C-alpha cells in the first residue's frame, strides 16, 4: 500500500515535530499492518509500542491525552481528502 504524499505533507503542516514523528510511526504501522491500525481503539497500544510503555514520555512529547487523540484522529482526515 502506498500513501498519497500530499496527505502526509498536509498532516505535517499541522503538528509539532514530535507529533509528526508519531504520525509517521502510525502511518508506517498502517502500511505494515493494515487499516485496523487507524481505529481509535489502537491509539493506546500504538503509544505503548512507540514509547515502550512509557506513557509519561508520550504525554511529555505529544501533549495531553486530548491533544494526542486529536493528532491521531486529525491526521487521518488528510488520508481521505481528495
Kindly write down the DSSP assignment for every residue of 17-69, as one continuous string: HHHHHHHHHHHHHHHHH-GGGGSGGGHHHHHHHHTTT-HHHHHHHH-SHHHHH
68 burial level (CB within 10 Å; 0-12, 13-18, 19+): buried
Q: What is the pLDDT of residues 11-69, one digit of tens each?
A: 556 889 999 999 999 999 999 999 999 999 999 999 999 999 999 999 999 999 999 99
The percent of residues in the chain predicted with pLDDT above 70, rounded, is: 83
Domain that includes residue 47, residue range: 5-77
Q: Is residue 82 part of a domain?
A: no
The total domain count for the chain is 1
**SS3 category, 77:** helix
Q: Is residue 29 part of a domain?
A: yes
Q: Is residue 72 part of a domain?
A: yes
Q: Is residue 73 part of a domain?
A: yes
The percent of residues in the chain predicted with pLDDT above 90, rounded, is: 71
Amino acid at each position: 500500500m502506498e500513501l498519497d504524499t500530499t496527505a502526509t505533507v498536509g498532516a505535517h503542516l499541522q503538528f509539532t515535530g514530535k507529533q509528526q514523528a508519531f504520525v509517521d510511526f502510525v502511518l508506517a504501522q498502517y502500511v505494515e499492518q493494515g487499516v485496523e491500525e487507524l481505529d481509535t481503539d489502537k491509539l493506546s497500544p500504538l503509544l505503548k509500542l512507540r514509547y515502550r510503555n512509557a506513557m509519561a514520555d508520550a504525554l511529555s512529547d505529544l501533549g495531553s491525552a486530548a491533544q494526542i487523540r486529536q493528532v491521531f484522529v486529525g491526521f487521518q482526515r488528510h488520508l481521505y481528502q481528495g
